[in-house]
Structure 1
Amino acid sequence: MSKLLQNISIHVSLTPEEEILLLSKIETKQFKAKTILLSSGEIANSTYFVNSGILRSFNINDNIIEHVLHFACEGWWIGDMYSYISEKPGNLFIEVLEDAEVVVISKENHQELYKEIPKLERFFRILAENSLVAHQERLMDNLSLSAEERFEKMCKKYPTLIQKVAQKHLASYIGVTPEFFSKMKSKLLRK
């Protein structure tokens, strides 16, 4: 069973016929590290499920500083949901950080799947709810926790990411400069 089908089966059960239909509406692609899947200013017409590798979404502000919003490793979903839903140009980049195998679902096929397999609407609603909760928790952490506390929480929650993602991206994710991150990490290691 593919990782995508395993991921879906956590929340909904598909019949063998529904699985075949779903698999007929997706594309699995290989991407090299540093590949940009979506650029700021483009309209997102696909969502991505990561079979292997690591991706990140980020934006770049007017001062040319990157802000990492999300990482996605094996078994996770990623996309620019603002652009995908509104069909307007987004402000996110999606980049492959580590060679990856990614399932790509176009918006057109996604909508067809909702009609043909209504259970998938429930599945994606649950994903959206979980994403909303995670984003709210992250926002509250950014408002109330120190950088050290945010990093420690991230280490506990995503231990594999800490070992695989460049420090500059981790620093951006927790909202500090790479220099501050390096000093903070050294201080934490000395404890």
Structure 2
Amino acid sequence: MPANDHAAFALFKSYIRDASGISEDEFNLIAHFLRPVHFNKGAVVLEIGSVCAHAFHVTRGLLRVATLDKNGDEHIVQFAPEGWFASDRSSMYFQEPSHLRIDAIEDTDAVMVGQDYFDALATISETFRKFNTTLLHNHIRHMQDRIALLLGARADERYQKFVSMYPDLLLRVPQWMIASYLGITPESLSRVRRDLAERNFSTR
């Protein structure tokens, strides 16, 4: 196994064991379902209209999850930096065409995790079943929070939520992508950042 693949596999193993509480033996029993993968910057991981067969746990780099409106304009739904999953869980579960596109913003190492892995681990581990249920509920909560922010929050509130959720992405992601995620124009984002900077300066 190449060094990058070995590192990605080890990081995923550490993550899943710490997060779910599964044992070493339980992990090793079905580790053959997992596959380390590498994506060059700009690579497409999932196309709109394809069925999402895997989730991708990022161990190095950054993936973007987005959708397109009827005019062809992109709207970013999620960023997936190190330690995050990128997938379309509904497409995976229901085996339906995805409305999402996933691509690599940076050179990215990840572990590819199929529904067969989640199903197999759930059959042998009660702790993983509970973890997987929590993971799904957290995903639903995150999407509900996103909808509430986009519909009801001011632009500065959306930006501050972005900073708290993705504190290390401000220098890794172009401003237009952040604006797309926030549902505002790049010009509006510039005004928000300027206003927040002035507000913070005036309180010193």
Same-fold call, TM cutoff 0.5: yes
Counterpart-to-counterpart distance in 2, 1:26 and 1:40: 24
1:129 aligns with 2:137: yes
Q: Which residue of 2 aligns with 1:150?
A: 158
* 1:83-124 Cα shifts (integer Å, max 9, x gaps): 111111011001111111110012234323333444332222
- 1:164 is paired with a residue of what secondary structure? coil
Matches within 5 A, 1:107-126: 107-126=115-134
Q: Which residue of 2 aligns with 1:94?
A: 102
1:85 aligns with 2:82: no
Counterpart-to-counterpart distance in 2, 1:136 and 1:59: 17
Counterpart-to-counterpart distance in 2, 1:71 and 1:18: 30
Counterpart-to-counterpart distance in 1, 2:109 and 2:148: 33
Q: Which residue of 1 aligns with 2:40?
A: 32
* 1:53-97 Cα shifts (integer Å, max 9, x gaps): 111110011111111111111111110112111111011001111
Question: How many percent identity over aligned positions?
Answer: 27
| Cα distance, 1:148 vs structure 2 | 1.5
> Is the contact between residue 58 and residue 94 of structure 1 (CA under 8 Å) also seen in structure 2?
yes
- 2:178 is paired with a residue of what secondary structure? helix
Counterpart-to-counterpart distance in 2, 1:64 and 1:187: 31
**Which region of structure 1 is more displaced relative to structure 2, 99-108 or 117-126?**
117-126
> Is the contact between residue 26 and residue 121 of structure 2 (CA under 8 Å) also seen in structure 1?
no
Counterpart-to-counterpart distance in 2, 1:135 and 1:15: 31
Counterpart-to-counterpart distance in 2, 1:105 and 1:12: 15
- 2:99 is paired with a residue of what secondary structure? coil
Counterpart-to-counterpart distance in 2, 1:6 and 1:106: 18
Matches within 5 A, 1:1-191: 2-191=10-199
> Is the contact between residue 8 and residue 123 of structure 1 (CA under 8 Å) also seen in structure 2?
no
Q: For this pair of structures, how many residues does the alignment match?
A: 191
Counterpart-to-counterpart distance in 2, 1:178 and 1:169: 8
User: Normalising to structure 2: TM-score of the pair?
Assistant: 0.85
Gaps of 5+ in 1: none
| Cα distance, 1:126 vs structure 2 | 1.2
